[in-house]
C-alpha cells in the first residue's frame, strides 16, 4: 500500500508515517507525510479549509 500511495521508503523498507484526509467521495484531499503522530494541526487545518471550500 505504501508504494501505491507514494509513502514507501526504499532505504528502510517500510512505509513512512502519513495521514490522508479522504472526502465522502473517496478522493484524497490532503496528505501529511512524516509528521509527528501527536501533532494533528496540519490535518485539522486542511479539514477546516476543505469544509470552508465545500460550502
Q: What is the pLDDT of residues 23-53, one digit of tens each?
A: 889 998 888 887 666 777 888 888 888 888 7
pLDDT of residue 45: 87
**Confidence at 15, pLDDT banded by 50, 70, 90:** very high
**Confidence at 55, pLDDT banded by 50, 70, 90:** low
Contact 29, 43 (CB under 8 A): no
pLDDT of residue 46: 86
| Domain edges within the chain | 8-54
Distance between CA atoms of residues 32 and 51, nearest Å: 17
Amino acid at each position: 500500500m505504501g508504494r501505491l500511495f507514494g509513502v514507501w521508503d526504499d532505504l528502510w523498507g517500510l512505509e513512512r508515517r502519513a495521514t490522508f484526509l479522504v472526502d465522502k467521495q473517496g478522493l484524497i484531499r490532503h496528505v501529511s507525510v512524516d509528521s509527528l503522530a501527536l501533532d494533528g494541526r496540519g490535518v485539522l487545518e486542511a479539514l477546516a479549509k476543505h469544509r470552508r471550500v465545500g460550502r
